[in-house]
């Protein structure tokens, strides 16, 4: 299971909207982008949980009878079949298949140029060792720099080549690097120094499995719109607010921390700890980087959302800055989340085949 989770979690890193099959009983009102603090205070006088500007501070309005919350950001994971176009999903399949085929040929297929082998050799030559714990740290560091670097360049690059073209460039760079990191980790995660062995502790496997499973409900928001990821629709930098965002403003980072804790506890090797360390560091950086990008894109709207959400899970709720609707659970009873649950379970049972595939690459 744990190798399959590494595959899914690393691929989720590559994604940077989708009405529900089960509609929430409260109605979410979507507000326009704000150009000034006056727009924020003027627009948020609607019940029930508004945000008002007083003494240059964002303050929460009192609860009214309806117990609804006016959303400033977008409704997370909303999806309806009626709004989908078969043509778009055909394009999605063709585009995704083409990119994956090209990456496979260039990176690892026997009749291709084997750039994946060259990447691994270059990394190990640069660090001066083939030790797996040092190697995976270096590989993931390179991936983090490339991934976050391209994300940081996005607003400037899109002005030159366009949003769709930049998304394709982003995928062509990130996908093969992620594949190398995944395959290398799967092949070497039990190597290095065995720091501890807790596999005999009763209940630990179940605890790790549950933690790992829940982590993907946090990780999923990075892929709320698959058509944007494949550049079929124009990629946008979304400001989500409902669903998992009510618990933590950075669910992908928190989900990755959960994943790393579970895997490090179970595997206990220096290679697993090394991989987890750089993944956590990368995602802690992404918290700052993500907020910076959202603030630059959405301005006052982001500041309002930031005021009533938190990075640490449940902190805003405990502090009274966020109140969950009575039917909050319905924000998860939606098609995209069902897909995540099904995919996670399927990956668990596909674990042996994934390990065999990684072994064939001999990285």
Predicted TM-score (pTM) of the model is: 0.77
pLDDT per residue as tens digits for the range 102-152 = 999 999 988 899 999 999 999 999 999 999 999 999 999 999 999 999 999
* Backbone φ/ψ region at 242: left (φ over 0), alpha (ψ -120 to 50), beta: beta
User: What residue ranges do the domains of the chain occupy?
Assistant: 2-17+88-361
Give percent above pLDDT 70 in the chain: 80
Handedness of CA 190, 195, 199, 200 (dihedral sign): positive
Supply the mean pLDDT for the chain.
80
Q: What is the mean pLDDT of residues 217-232?
A: 72
Q: CB atoms < 10 A from the CB of 159, how many? A: 10
- Residue 14, token pair as written in the block: 């590559």
- Does the structure show a pLDDT above 60 at 165? yes
Query: What pLDDT was estimated at residue 141?
Result: 97
Instruction: For residue 114, list its beta bridge partners.
Output: none
When pLDDT is cut at 50, 70 and 90, the band that residue 337 belongs to is confident
When pLDDT is cut at 50, 70 and 90, the band that residue 181 belongs to is very high
- Does the structure show a pLDDT above 70 at 11? no
Q: 14 CB contacts (<8 Å, ≥6 apart)?
A: 147, 170, 171, 174, 175, 178, 229
Query: What pLDDT was estimated at residue 224?
Result: 61
Q: What is the mean pLDDT of residues 229-241?
A: 82
């Amino acid at each position: 299971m744990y190798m399959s989770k590494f595959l899914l979690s690393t691929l989720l890193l590559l994604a940077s909207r989708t009405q529900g099959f089960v509609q929430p009983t409260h109605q979410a009102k979507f507000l326009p982008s704000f150009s000034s603090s006056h727009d924020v205070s003027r627009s948020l006088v609607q019940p029930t949980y508004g945000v008002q500007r007083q003494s240059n501070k964002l303050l929460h309005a009192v609860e009214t009878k309806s117990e609804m919350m006016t959303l400033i950001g977008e409704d997370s994971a909303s999806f309806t079949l009626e709004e989908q176009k078969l043509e778009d999903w055909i394009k999605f399949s063709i585009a995704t298949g083409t990119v994956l085929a090209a990456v496979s040929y260039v990176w690892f297929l026997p009749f291709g140029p084997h750039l994946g082998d060259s990447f691994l050799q270059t990394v190990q030559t640069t660090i001066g060792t083939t030790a797996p714990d040092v190697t995976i740290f270096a590989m993931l560091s390179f991936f983090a720099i490339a991934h976050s670097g391209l994300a940081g360049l996005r607003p400037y690059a899109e002005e030159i080549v366009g949003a769709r073209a930049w998304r394709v460039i982003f995928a062509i760079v990130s996908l093969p690097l992620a594949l190398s990191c995944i395959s290398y980790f799967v092949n070497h995660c039990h190597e290095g120094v065995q720091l501890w062995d807790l596999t005999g502790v009763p209940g630990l496997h179940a605890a790790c499995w549950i933690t790992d499973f829940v982590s993907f409900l946090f990780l999923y928001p990075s892929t709320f719109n698959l058509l944007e990821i494949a550049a079929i629709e124009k990629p946008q930098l979304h400001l989500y607010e409902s669903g998992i965002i009510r618990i933590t403003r950075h669910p992908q980072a928190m989900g990755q921390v959960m994943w790393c804790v579970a895997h490090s506890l179970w595997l206990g090797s220096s290679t697993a700890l090394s991989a987890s360390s750089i993944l956590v560091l990368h995602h802690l950086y992404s918290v700052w980087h993500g907020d910076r990008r959202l603030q630059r894109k959405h301005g006052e709207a982001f500041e309002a959302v930031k005021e009533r959400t938190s990075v640490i899970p449940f902190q805003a709720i405990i502090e009274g800055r966020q109140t969950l609707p009575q039917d909050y659970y319905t924000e998860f009873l939606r098609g995209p989340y069902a897909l995540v649950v099904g995919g996670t379970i399927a990956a668990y049972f596909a674990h042996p085949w994934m390990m065999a595939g990684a072994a064939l690459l001999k990285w």
